[in-house]
Amino acid sequence: MSLAVGVIGTGMIGQDHIRRLTRVLSGAEVVAVSDIDRTRAGQAAPAGAEVFDTPQALIRSDKVQAVLICSWGPAHEEQLLDCISVGKPVFCEKPMVTSEAAALKVIDAEVAFGRRLVQVGFMRRFDADYRRLKAVIDGGTLGLPLMYYSKHRNASVPEGLYTSDMPLNDTLVHDADISRWLLSDEIASVEVRLPRRSRQGGELRDPHLVLLHMASGAIVDVEISVNIAYGYDIRGEVSCEKGLAALPNRPAPVVSDQFGIRQAIPEDWRERFIEAYDQEFREWIVAAGQGTATGPSAWDGYAATLVADAALRAVTSGGREEIAMRDKPALYDTAAKVAAA
């Protein structure tokens, strides 16, 4: 039997996930949609899906077994808490929430419910290249990881909608999460350096250089450039005691012609991570069908939120901002073992 999914937020990524669940993957059916823009919801709804006036009505509907949240970040908290209150598995696009207090509310609700329901959309963990990179590091032949260089480059971001805080509270969350996962470590403190501003983004503060100090002493250096014009370019290289391990350049045909030898660069995240999103949802469909979640957890969403908050503080203070995490509830220890198995 197909998993009956309700989708909240039918913008860019909501539509892409509806396409994925409807036309690419098996095991799920989009039976309901909702968006504050009802017209957009109606246009995005696959044949036979019901358009709900409010996310709350969709979440409570008997038709809906599992929920996919693709609304804007500040709306996620209320929608997540509603899903947990009715015990429905929920996939929430990043950022899970936009404040520490909200993240703790989600964790407390899930822990009180007693079973994992929340998966956060950190799709890099499902990318085959990142998984092979992690396997090399975990294998231990290169010794301990000492430094990780993470490059996050977007061709452009929507003018006016993407504001100067967003490289740190919307984009950095991916690099923060993948650093914790790749290095099996926690982020203890954060520094931010602001280089000369790129004229590509007008008044937008861009680029950013972020240093993540890991609990082990390893350091992650993150470049976030969101208006770099040439394409969507994600890179990663881990420097270990006895060697390096890096993401390969994106496999793409090498074209030789009268202009030289070149490889295409993805335009945006949809192209670069298309297979990762597919795999992310394959695994989610299986877990949600069993009434739970196994991918990146609310705890991972909480950790990324703390990093975003600390990075924003670091811009103001110019110094190194510490991160204090609460003790990890047992619910997330078990989940980590399942996810790693």
Closest approach of ligand NAD to the CB of residue 268, in Å: 9
77 binds ligand NAD per the rule CB under 6 A = no
Among 88, 94, 116, 208, binds ligand NAD (CB under 6 A): 94
Instruction: Give the list of residues 6+ apart from residue 53 with CB closer than 8 angstroms, or none.
Output: 34, 38
Closest approach of ligand NAD to the CB of residue 23, in Å: 18
Q: Which C-beta is closer to ligand NAD: that of 53 or that of 138?
A: 53
- Of the ranges 7-15, 83-91, 133-141, 314-322, which one interacts with ligand NAD (CB under 6 A)? 7-15
Closest approach of ligand NAD to the CB of residue 16, in Å: 8
The helix (H) or strand (E) run that includes residue 220 is: strand 219-225
Collapse the DSSP code of 24 into the 3-class scheme (helix H, G, I; strand E, B; otherwise coil) and give the result: helix
CA–CA–CA angle 219, 130, 302 (5° rounding): 60
Report yes or no: 33 and 25 within 8 Å, Cβ to Cβ.
Answer: no
**Token pair of 189 as six digits:** 């403190």
Among 97, 107, 123, 304, binds ligand NAD (CB under 6 A): 123
Closest approach of ligand NAD to the CB of residue 73, in Å: 5
Among 3, 10, 155, 310, binds ligand NAD (CB under 6 A): 10
- Per the DSSP assignment, residues forming a β-bridge with 209 are 193, 223
What span, in angstroms and rounded, lies between the C-alpha atoms of 32 and 83?
14
275 binds ligand NAD per the rule CB under 6 A = no
Tell me the CA distances in angstroms from 227 to 129, 149, 231, one per residue in order. 25, 19, 9
The CB-nearest residue to ligand NAD is 11
Q: What is the x/- site pattern for ligand NAD, positions 251-270, by CB under 6 A?
A: ------------------x-
Report yes or no: 69 and 80 within 8 Å, Cβ to Cβ.
Answer: yes
Work out the number of other CB atoms within 10 angstroms of the CB of residue 32: 22
Q: Which residues bind ligand NAD (CB under 6 A)?
A: 8-14, 34-37, 40, 55, 70-73, 75, 93-94, 121, 123, 170, 269
